[in-house]
Structure 1
């Protein structure tokens, strides 16, 4: 079981990789929102609504989006703003407990890649989730559930004529957790595991 306190301690010492091109490329930010439950630490994941032209339509992911001019060049501000818009959760600076490594991903609307920066927060107390039109569904996943080897499956990711086998988790009702979100949560679990088992 993953407890939240060791994760907080581990993230305070963790040196996440920051992409040196992050000031030059298009950038997005996501919020990894954690809460404690009887199953240990849980993370909030959302299902993106189906939208024409959106390559991540229908995917399970983390709340967040592109960094806009209004974010004053702060990726964490963008993660908080997008989270409030998509889920109704207000993430204050005091709830921040660390960050994970930047990820370089294809930007399907441009030829240059995009950098996604994940920031980790505690869930606000007495929080109520109210989603907007960008989110089709949401759920809390226990990190311990992701630890169970039998939960990890494979799926075929198709893009054009290419089909590639990718690791994933079946979250029920046909929802698959995979790709970028899975990489981020794997990193979070590794960081917490090192603290709990030095």
Structure 2
């Protein structure tokens, strides 16, 4: 079972990898929002709404989005702004407990590299969620489940005419984590061990 205090301590000593050229590429920021329950720490996942042309339509993800002009000075500000827009949860710098490593991905709009910066927050006391049109649903996933054997599988993802085999995690009820979100959460879980 994962507890929040050891995670906070581990994050305080963690030195995440930051991509050197991150300020020259398109960027996005996501929020790993944690809450402590009687069964241990859980992380908030959002299920993206289904939209034509969206390669991640319907996928489980962390709340967040692109860093735009108003966020240029602070990627964590973008994670907070996007989280509030998508879920109604208001995050602040005081609820921030750490940062994870930058991830290099592909901006599918421009077919160019993009950097995603993940930040970790403690859930505010009032965790009522009001999902906007971008979100089909939300799910609190126990971090301990990511540590359990038997929930990993292979996902066959089609991109263009190519099928790619990707490691995925079964969250239950047909929900799967894979790709960037799974890599981010695997880094977080490793810190909690």
What is the TM-score of this pair, normalised by structure 1?
Answer: 0.94
Q: How much has 1:184 moved relative to structure 2?
A: 0.3
The residue number in structure 2 matching 1:36 is: 36
1:166-185 matches, cutoff 5 A: 166-185=166-185
Shift of 1:126: 2.1
Partner of 1:157: 157
For each residue in 1:164-197, what CA deviation from the matched residue of structure 2 results, as whole angstroms up to 9, or x when unmatched?
221112223322111100000000011111xxxx
1:58 is matched with which residue?
58
Identify unmatched segments of 5+ residues in structure 2.
Answer: none
2:125 paired with 1:137: no
The Cα shift of 1:148 comes to 0.7
- Residue aligned with 2:127, SS: coil
* Mapping of residues 67-82 of structure 1, within 5 Å: 67-82=67-82
Contact kept in structure 1, 2:33 and 2:44, CA below 8 Å: yes
CA deviations 1:137-185 (Å, max 9, x no partner) are 1100001111111111111111122222211122233221111000000
| Count of aligned residue pairs for this structure pair | 193
Hey, what does 2:109 align to over in structure 1?
109
Aligned-pair CA distance for 1:92: 1.0
Identify the residue that residue 10 of structure 1 maps to in structure 2. Answer: 10
Secondary structure of 1:149's counterpart equals coil
Unaligned ranges ≥5, structure 1:
194-198
Is this contact kept in 2: 1:67–1:73, CA < 8 A?
no
SS at match of 1:54: coil
Asked whether the equivalents of residues 29 and 119 of structure 1 are also in contact (C-alpha less than 8 Å), the reply is yes
TM-score, length basis structure 2: 0.97
- Please tell me the root mean square deviation across aligned C-alpha atoms, in Å: 1.0
Return the alpha-carbon distance in structure 2 between the equivalents of residues 6 and 54 of structure 1. 37
